Structure 1
């Protein structure tokens, strides 16, 4: 199984909506006008940072599973890093949060449903569920 997630429109809109609600909450608060302005500016700064961090080119280019070699994570440099998918990974119908153990430590990777073709996302979910069923460790 070879997966190459792309950008997620759903993640982008959720990020914008959450920040818009935070700005709205700041504006209707009982803070003085200068406090509201500072808080709204900080929220917009965070939106800019979050957009850069989560919506631009991902740090990982793909995920590969081979029966003989296990899971490997594709890096943008073109290298493949051997990883272990941890049982703390979260699998839902809308997103998957992969908790990965590498030689250098742990990483987490959010894969939203619309970042993969629907069949690939379904296969990933099913495979992760089957892997947990075989290992006996509960996957959240």
Structure 2
């Protein structure tokens, strides 16, 4: 694949907003459990569930599902470079979400479906704007108006 076939290349970083939100939500949930009059064994089970949720959330969202780079190709397909060095290809699903604060890319490929969450602070301002514009231009025809309104 030549680099001339790439219309947009992005390399997202970890989002501090998402990290802070996940830590705050799980910390408040743990504090609420500790303040309950439940027996210690019940509190321990709930705290273990909250800790498990925090770990799974960190693995799922904070590592961007293992995506190192995203490339929107000229034919409107996507190529993801994963952290292990492998590549994954797919096309944008019409159910993807685009708004001023985040983009949730739902991509369908031969190996299945992949979701990529990109928050505004994961990219520099110009790259995030280019992503949003690119998604509007290359979106499914029926979704172009909804994407333009941020729905």
Which runs of structure 2 are paired with 1:55-74 in the superposition (5 Å)? Answer: 55-56=62-63, 58-68=65-75, 70-74=77-81
Q: 1:82 aligns with which of 72, 86, 89?
A: 89
Q: 1:31 aligns with which of 30, 38, 42?
A: 38
C-alpha separation in 2, matches of 1:97 and 1:105: 16
Is the CA contact (8 Å cut-off) linking 2:79 and 2:90 kept in structure 1? yes
Which runs of structure 2 are paired with 1:1-140 in the superposition (5 Å)? Answer: 1-56=8-63, 58-68=65-75, 70-132=77-139, 135-137=141-143, 138-139=146-147, 140=151
TM-score by length of 2: 0.78
C-alpha separation in 2, matches of 1:136 and 1:117: 29
C-alpha separation in 2, matches of 1:13 and 1:69: 33
C-alpha separation in 2, matches of 1:52 and 1:64: 22
C-alpha separation in 1, matches of 2:75 and 2:30: 50
C-alpha separation in 2, matches of 1:36 and 1:66: 50
Tell me the C-alpha RMSD between the 2 structures: 2.2
Is the CA contact (8 Å cut-off) linking 2:77 and 2:92 kept in structure 1? no
C-alpha separation in 2, matches of 1:89 and 1:22: 30
Taking a change above 3 Å as real, the CA distance of residues 122 and 18 of structure 1, as seen in their structure-2 partners, is same
- The CA deviation at 1:56 is 4.1
Number of aligned residue pairs: 139
Unmatched segments (≥5 aa) in structure 1? none
C-alpha separation in 1, matches of 2:138 and 2:76: 15
